[in-house]
């Protein structure tokens, strides 16, 4: 029996938890993950012929954070940006479920939903491993690589360390698997020197494991119901990937 206040379409029954709160979903994603990783300022100081950034996400869900990133980049002054977006999902949603959720997200434009779903709907979600598609947007291009399967497998299969991470795998109480030491440590090894990570949880174990993985972890003021959130910066990649 799930909490009566979570509408059926928003419930991830595997974790008895909502994907996110649709009312503030866009603002929340932009604040916690995009601002939390300082993405727009980082891209703004890059030369226009080198505006490339690689991002990892643990928990693709309904693609809300991907949609929020596209929206935020389109609304910025940035052009010629190349984003390499690597995400993972153990329990992929059907395209129609994803549309049902994204349609309710305040601020999420139908154009962005259609662009993502045009490609996502062609993915064989029963097949594990990498699935890729590319989108051309006002800001530039985004290559989306989605691993269907478990998060640690996805991190281990990355060929190089990434610049920024969106850690979004339900709370550690509902889903300890997504916050296990082994996974956070692997994420540290797959983060470039000076790379960052951001998440909504400030749980002590997550802070300690990110610190042990080589990140400088800071608790920052939160948004909405989240009083505090985490931002983390990797000082130096350990060189063992």
For ligand SAM, the closer of residues 36 and 61 by Cβ is 61
Q: Which residues make Cβ contacts (< 8 Å) with residue 163, sequence separation at least 6?
A: 42, 53, 54, 55, 191, 192, 195, 196
d(Cα 57, Cα 148) in Å, to the nearest integer? Answer: 13
CA distance 131 to 109: 24
What 3-state DSSP class applies to 229? strand
DSSP state letters, 152-178: HHHHHH-SS-EEEEEE-SS-TTT-GGG
Q: Which of residues 179-238 bind ligand SAM (CB under 6 A)?
A: none
Interface residue with ligand SAM, options 56, 63, 140, 188 (CB under 6 A): 63
**For residue 144, how far is the Cα from the chain centroid?**
11
Closer CB to ligand SAM, residue 26 or residue 215? 26
Q: Single out the residue of 109, 177, 211, 237 in contact with ligand SAM (rule: CB under 6 A).
A: 177
Residue 86, interface with ligand SAM (CB under 6 A)?
Answer: no
Applying CB under 6 A, does 178 fall inside the site for ligand SAM? yes
Of 177 and 237, which CB lies nearer to ligand SAM in the complex structure?
A: 177
Binding of ligand SAM by 174 (CB under 6 A): no
32/43 with CB nearer ligand SAM: 32
Q: By CB under 6 A, tell whether 173 contacts ligand SAM.
A: no
Nearer to ligand SAM, 88 or 184 (CB): 88
Piece of 55-63, 75-83, 190-198, 231-239 that binds ligand SAM (CB under 6 A): 55-63
164 contacts ligand SAM (rule: CB under 6 A) = no
3-state secondary structure of 45: coil
User: Which one among 36, 140, 161, 169 touches ligand SAM, defined by CB under 6 A?
Assistant: 169
Of the residues 28, 71, 89, 163, which one makes contact with ligand SAM according to CB under 6 A: 89
DSSP SS3 for 44:
helix
Phi–psi pair at 141, nearest 5 degrees: -130, 155
- b/e string for 25-62 if b means 16 or more Cβ within 10 A? bbebbbbbbbbbbebbeebeeeeeeebebbbbbbbbbb
Beta bridge partners of 140: 81, 137
Residue 157 lies near ligand SAM (rule: CB under 6 A): no
Number of residues lying near ligand SAM (CB under 6 A)? 24
Q: Does 19 bind ligand SAM (CB under 6 A)?
A: yes
Phi-psi region of 8 (alpha: psi -120 to 50; beta: other; left: phi over 0): alpha
Interacting residue with ligand SAM among 53, 55, 56, 61 (CB under 6 A): 61
Which residues lie near ligand SAM (CB under 6 A)? 12, 14, 19-20, 29, 59-65, 88-91, 150-151, 168-170, 175, 177-178
């Amino acid at each position: 029996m799930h909490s009566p206040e979570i509408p059926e379409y928003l419930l991830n029954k595997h974790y008895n938890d909502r994907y996110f709160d649709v009312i503030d979903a866009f603002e929340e994603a932009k604040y916690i993950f995009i601002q939390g990783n300082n993405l727009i300022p980082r891209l703004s100081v890059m030369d226009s012929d080198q505006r490339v950034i690689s991002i990892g996400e643990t928990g693709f869900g309904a693609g809300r954070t991907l949609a929020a990133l596209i929206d935020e980049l389109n609304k910025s002054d940035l052009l010629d940006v190349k984003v390499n977006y690597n995400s993972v999902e153990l329990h992929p949603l059907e395209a129609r479920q994803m549309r049902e959720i994204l349609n309710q997200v305040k601020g999420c434009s139908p154009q962005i939903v259609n662009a993502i779903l045009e490609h996502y709907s062609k993915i064989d979600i029963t097949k594990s491993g990498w699935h890729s598609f590319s989108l051309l947007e006002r800001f530039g291009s985004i290559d989306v690589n989605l691993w269907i399967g478990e998060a640690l497998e996805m991190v281990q299969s990355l060929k190089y360390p990434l610049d920024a991470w969106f850690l979004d795998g339900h709370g550690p109480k509902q889903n300890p698997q997504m916050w296990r030491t082994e996974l956070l440590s692997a994420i540290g090894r797959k983060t470039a020197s000076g790379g960052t990570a951001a998440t909504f949880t400030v749980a002590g174990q997550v802070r300690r494991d990110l610190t042990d993985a080589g990140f400088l972890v800071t608790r920052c003021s939160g948004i909405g119901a989240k009083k505090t959130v985490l931002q983390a910066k990797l000082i130096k990649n350990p060189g063992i990937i």
